[in-house]
Amino acid sequence: MLSSVRLIPRTAWLVHSPICSSSRSFMDLKVLLSSLNDFASLSLAESWDNVGLLVEPSQPHTVHTLFLTNDLTEKVMEEALQKKADLILSYHPPIFRPLKHITWKTWKERLVIRALENRVGIYSPHTAYDAAPQGVNSWLAKGLGVCTSRPIHPSKAPKYPTVGTHRVEFSVNCTEDLDKVISAVKEIADVSVTSFSTRTDDEEQTRISLNCSQEALIQVVNFLSQSRQFYQKTEILSLEKPLLLHTGMGRLCTLDESVSLATMIERIKSHLKLSHVRLALGVGRTLESPVKVVALCAGSGSTVLQGTEADLYLTGEMSHHDVLDAASQGINVILCEHSNTERGFLSDLRDMLGAHLENKINIILSETDRDPLHVV
């Protein structure tokens, strides 16, 4: 888990050239990918996302230099090649929608061609890093001041705590029926069976407990419905995946001490190294209004923040109408442009990955990667 990673002081990185990796060893690509998944599991990513290894050079492939960027543009690709990167970790996936052909026609196709020609892999974690305990959203919350935070939408464990998605329980009175039932349900795929003795109204009974998949549930219910004795005493439970601690989308942050909106604006600008942000004042609010609770989401926050009670919404971008909705409820909104709420995390990521990978490879940040929008 990310929360157990020991951070390395920034000064430790300043003694190394961003290009030279002679003092370091290397890692096999497959080993590195496994370590990256241990660092922040790709199972944390949203179902709609496209994460993981997007471009893979032919095997074997060793990685001496890992190149970090928020967005992989053609200019950033040129920089990565000049610095002899073996693997590019691009926070945003440069391949999101399926490519129907790989030609020189579009910039994303050209990225794939140049990566393969130069034997450079491309890996994207995206929303897996959004959800991680010490990921992008937790980094964004650091700029608010001393606070406690929790995910707005907690992540669930990738697997159920037991086999199956449902549990079906019912009672059987006689041994003859018991043997018949157990024999029948064992023939259904994806069903596990346990039994235990119970006493109801001074009558000995055997309680049958079945764990089954969604598909098998239909067959189990169909079997039980053939006998009123079983069906009337049946309980069906939906098994929930357990929530993961400190893991999930967005953060709801409660400050230890309230500050004015004006003060909060300056804190955010300082943390993100921005001279300007966009502000929508909530109805009835002023720059001197107190801010105690902040709901934030790096990148595009409309869906994650919607319906959350807070004094302030902080995100990169929201739709015009979502801003109007929030402001009408008295919620202030600060927009910083999409990638400005994400890019600064990469410096922390470099240090954390260095510790996690035991400094076996050279890790460098892009110097040309930046948000495409500027205030003019």
> Strand 147-150 vs strand 166-172: parallel, antiparallel, or unpaired?
unpaired
Does 126 count as an annotated binding residue? no
Q: Which residues contact 119 (CB under 8 A, 6 or more apart)?
A: 57, 58, 61, 86
Q: Which CA distances in Å does 280 have to 19, 138, 277, 328?
A: 43, 23, 10, 10
Q: What is the DSSP string of 207-233?
A: EEEEEE-HHHHHHHHHHHTT-HHHHTT
Does 130 count as an annotated binding residue? yes
Classify residue 62 as exposed, middle or buried by CB count within 10 Å of its CB (0-12, 13-18, 19+).
Answer: middle
* Both structure tokens of 135: 């990921």
The alpha carbon of 51 is separated from its chain's Cα centroid by a whole number of angstroms, namely 10
H helices within the chain, ranges in order? 29-39, 74-82, 107-117, 127-131, 136-141, 175-185, 214-224, 228-231, 261-272, 302-305, 320-328, 345-356
Does 246 count as an annotated binding residue? no
Does 342 count as an annotated binding residue? yes
- DSSP 3-state of 106: coil
Q: Which residues line the annotated binding site for a divalent metal cation?
A: 92, 130, 338, 342
Q: Which residues line the annotated binding site?
A: 92, 130, 338, 342
